[in-house]
Amino acid sequence: MNKSNTLTEKYEIKIIIQKETPENYPAIHEILCACFNRESEGNLVKALRVNDKAILSLVAMQNAEVVGHVMFTPVTTSPLFTATGLGLAPLAVKPEYQKQGIGAKLVEEGLRLCAELGCDYVVLLGNPKYYQRFGFRKASDFGMQNEYGVDEPFMLIKLTNCDLQNGLIKYCPEFSLFSL
Ligand SMILES: CC(C)(COP(=O)(O)OP(=O)(O)OC[C@H]1O[C@@H](n2cnc3c(N)ncnc32)[C@H](O)[C@@H]1OP(=O)(O)O)[C@@H](O)C(=O)NCCC(=O)NCCS
């Protein structure tokens, strides 16, 4: 085997995206604490699970190691729309595994599964430079407002040809309990 093959084998990482299981919970909590330098996001994720709000919670696995996580929870609108939405939050990749496309894999597989679940749109609060590549646009382009007093960072992607009119989108109440 030549040197470049050996290097490729050594550094190429194979990532599998799958639904979280209870045995992943401690590793997910550790990743969230490491990524956000606080406990809030980890505690939020625990509360969302306990309250049955974790509609979709995925882990990125490298062999037996959890290296990333993303959660999707229901959002509500006022006025009430027939279209159903999910909020993507939080998304985290273990610091030493970042910038290798793992975050992108979690987002892409997450959106695919959200569409499979019949979800009409997904929203998130994040860096537009990162999330535009997946097709997210600022939610205000669709007439949708948010509770955070921001414009560009509150983003939305339609997964169906749903009708969105002017309205306010709200995450689950758990999000306001953890001072995020
Ligand atoms: C945001 C976050 C989840 C992104 O995860 P990630 O796995 O690093 O994301 P990706 O690898 O898909 O993309 C990150 C960057 O790496 C680049 N990249 C992707 N694959 C790459 C590769 N194979 N080689 C080099 N760079 C690569 C991407 O182009 C992107 O660059 P850019 O944003 O500067 O244009 C991660 O940085 C994180 O956990 N941050 C802390 C928590 C956080 O802020 N979460 C988001 C708010 S909830």
Q: Is any atom of ligand 1 closer than 6 Å to the C-beta of 98?
A: yes
Please report how many Cα atoms fall inside a 13 Å half-sphere around the Cα of residue 36, on the Cβ side. 22
Instruction: Give the model's pLDDT for residue 3.
Output: 44
Domains of the chain, residue spans: 12-177
Residue nearest to atom 30 of ligand 1 (CA): 99
Measure Cα distances from 42 to 57, 115, 126, 138 in Å. 13, 26, 18, 26
Q: What is the pLDDT of residue 178?
A: 80
Tell whether ligand 1 has an atom less than 6 A from the beta carbon of residue 128. no
User: What is the residue with the minimal CA distance to atom 41 of ligand 1?
Assistant: 35
Residue 71 CB–ligand 1 contact under 6 Å:
no
Q: Using alpha carbons, list the distances in angstroms from residue 177 to 45, 74, 136, 158.
A: 12, 16, 26, 28
Assess whether the C-beta atom of 155 lies below 6 angstroms from ligand 1: no
pTM: 0.92
Task: Mention the CATH class of domain 12-177.
Answer: alpha beta
What confidence score (pLDDT) does residue 13 get? 76
- Mean pLDDT (10-residue bins), the chain, 180 residues: 46 88 98 97 97 98 97 96 96 97 98 98 98 98 95 98 93 86
The residue whose CA is least distant from atom 3 of ligand 1 is 92
